[in-house]
Structure 1
Amino acid sequence: MPRILIVDDESVFRKGLRKMITSLDGNWEVVGEASDGYDALDKLAELSPEVLLTDIRMPGMDGIQLQQLAGGRFKDLMTVVVSGYDEFAYAQQSMRQGAKDYLMKPVEREELGRVLERLGRELAERKAQPVRNEEPWQVQPLLKRHVAAHLTESLLKGKTKDSDLELLREMGFLFSSPYFICMVIKLDKYSVEKERYLRGDASLFLLYIQQVVQEMMDRQTKGISFVQSDTEVVAVLNTADPQQFLSAPGSLGDMIRRQIRSLSNLTVTIGVSNPAEGLAGIPKAYNEAGIALLYRLIEGGDRLLDYAKMTERPHSGSGPLKWSWELLEKSITGGRAASIGPIVEQLIEELCSMAESPESIHQQICKLLLYYYELSEELDVTESWLGSKDIRKVLFDVCSLSSRQELAEKCRGLLITLTGCIAASRAAKDIDPVTAAQRYISLHYYRPLSLKEVADEVFLSPVYFSNLFKQRTGVTFIEFLTHIRMEEARKKLAFTDEKIHSIAEETGFGNVRHFNRVFKNSSGLSPKEYRDSTRAVQAASMDSKGAET
């Protein structure tokens, strides 16, 4: 009984074909279904069907690429392709690759019956002929790279199966050395003239980089490189001596960086992982290379960034980063969109120069954007600002950036758009002065604040503002300011090891004695007593959780 395998990324279509084949001819057996080309290769090896019935358009590996690979590995396999009306050129290409026939979607019962009948006759004739000697499997170089890149991408995620590794070996990719190193290579967009970058296809820049990387790898070691996304190239190196491939001058990564700059006037930044032992270590190495690349925010572009060196950088010990948003706040709420670009660029340049780690930079940027997200919610302009985007997606995109220029460009665009939304909103014109004052105090509590300064900020006289604030909030201006400062002080005492006099300065108190007195009046404990008591509670909680586990 002839056996057939159905391949399509839509389960409804697979089930429909199975039912149609079964009802058409009892001589055919549908031995299995596959949802993509890679799944199909496994099923072909496992089930040994005589006929492959495959869709043309599928994610990952399309029907033509599947046909090329399957035709090389399974010499007697007959292929029938299924295509839509607008995919006829693909069908023609598939026929040139040796497909026995093609069917148009939606597949008609009579047409499918005709094809199966003809294939059945041909299979019967084959069985009557002498057995042929099989020729060695030959894979087209471009297809070979495509498949190997897909399988290596699975390695990065720790999801590669034994059959995938066997396919890599069959195509000549032998990872026989004990150590693996990952490199993530990013194009420094600012090294490309803006007009040239916009005029060209961004993927072509990355394809060029990938080709240079692969050529240089082939000369020195085993490994594979591929375009991982629209922004980065990934290289996986397999070596017995990992030290020669790390970030030292003259290493492979250094030569790649210099070669690309020499040949094309493009610059790249490369994150390099620690050596990982065995295939199981590749996902960790890939993650390390990505983390190393984030330090481009601090170190700048056109260089190698070694994970071990970046994460062991000495900290300056300067304490929490002080970053003022005052000028930005005035421009956004005042509708001055033209001034936002230079302010954002200067703020991010200062932030990246002062920060100790990429995480601290992203933390500050997320804090800034969340602050303005809350403002947009308050003014009911979030939808006009972000559209259908969720703020979490916006923050995720920001935290994936590793270039100062790209970070500034992203924030500048977001904040200029927000400024326009606020300016166009009636709520912005009628913004509540008490709410605006509370936000201003929350933003500037760390420095001396007077009633007059805050009243001026919301365009009210000090006397009127003082009375209005007490009437609306139930507390005086000083009581509210003190409450904000005490809340911040409690957080710092509980969760940091900063000295008490530093916390006093950072929460707006002129001297530590005044801070101690106000804190005790507010909390009933001195700052030291409060810190000791919260640490004791935290330690007891940890002990309790440990006992439970």
Structure 2
Amino acid sequence: MGDMVMSSNFRVVLAEDEPRILQFLERKIQCLDSRFEVVGSARNGMDALALVEELHPHALFSDVQMPVMNGLELLAQVKSSCPDVKAVIISGFRDFDYVREAMRYEAVDYLLKPVLDEDLLKLLHKLADELEEAVRLQEREAISKAIENRLDLTISSVLSHPQNYCITLIAIGHLMNNSSQILHSRVFQNIWKKIDFQRILEKSGIALKNWWFCDGWNVNHKYLVCYAEEMAAVESGLPVLLDELKPFSGGYPVNLCMLPDALPLYKLHEGVLALQESVGRALIPGISQILPLKSEETKDSHPAILTSNQSQLLKSLISSGRTDEVKKQLENTLQNWIDCRYPQMVFENGLRQLFRLLASATSITDENELYLVQYHTLAFFSTCRTPEELFPEIWEAALHFLNKQALEKDYGRKTAEDVEQYIRLHYTEDISLETIASIMGFHSVYLNRIFKKEKQITPIQFLINLRIEKAKEFILQHPDWDFTTIGESVGYHDPHYFSRAFKKVSGMSPSEYRSMVHVSLKI
């Protein structure tokens, strides 16, 4: 994209060594077609090349035979340094070799001297049509690059161009993450292909002389760009445009958002960011509408989407194993969010709250697992046509947590029973939590947590209690045994440690317990 982009006139440089012909061409070109302006002239090829490289004209009219550098050599140099310049050869030579050589350097035409008005006018009209199309394509490229923030800010003529642009975002479907865009790109490409934008604009009563539909960052977004003076036509036609687009959206909602102010080319990216921000904050799942542009100061005010009462009720239902009631409550919660018309971002935050609650209520502590469930559901949400389609996904996620909780309960119960059985069989031995964990194939911390959750007591405390209960039985059954023997019989080889453990569990020393038992037996 060169300096010629979006100029109001087509600039021409002339190269002709005969002053009379040079003046004639300058006068005739500007007289026959006012769209052309001669901005420089030279009487040899070298000076002409310098002018072309300095002025970046749209077209170069050059004689063949000139001093210093002839016309064909000039064309070769121009093609290398300024390939966008369209060249026309003017010569009195009818030799086809000149024509062929000129065409090799992509000259657009070849005029013979003396140049007739009719021939020159015909060529100017043809050249203007080609240049207008080229300028339009270059302007589209500049707009697209500006939207994508890839505009070359060093191109002074683009930045100084006085034209301002009106930009409107057309969004089909919901907000989408990168993964969803990749997976559903073909779906939205097919939707866009079916839309005849020229016809849609006409049916919407939006008559625009110059307009462009440009791609956005998202596969389901397009931008309608037009000149500032046509902004009113777009704004008044938005309601009809919305209705005209709906039949082509494949059942997805359609949202439009228009910048209230026109922007110069180099600020289009800022406008796009503002539109994206507004759509991101205001898009309501399943609803087609014209969205207002929200300023940075605008505060979104929504109540807590998942209330404490709803949270407590769900936890209670999950804890009591009332699966059918859990499903009903989830359906009611989702329908309430839909009826409240929460924006998608608020809706998604509510889903994250909901999944974290489900994970907490079912004792799922794996953050990666929670993330994957959230990611899968939110990805589906971004590509569904209506929020009602989301419930089966939410319920599937809830069942994942509930079923895993049931499996973990069974597994935890079985593990705790195995640990208890091992302790009962080996309580007389010198065992520790690490010993039990190693034999069971678990980490000691995990085993301790599982056992305590199922038995409401740690494995070591269970071992101590079991040993003391067995010691009490020996005291009762063997009144002649000393406490050292009894302690060793239940796994304590230090009589002082046994005495302390006994007193801590039963509230009295072994001797006090024996005395109490004997008194009871006598009575």
| TM-score interval, normalised by the smaller of the two chains | 0.3 to 0.5
Structure 1 or 2, whichever has the larger Rg, is: 2
TM-score by length of 1: 0.40
The answer to which structure, 1 or 2, has the higher relative contact order (CA under 8 A, 6+ apart) is: 2
TM-score by length of 2: 0.41
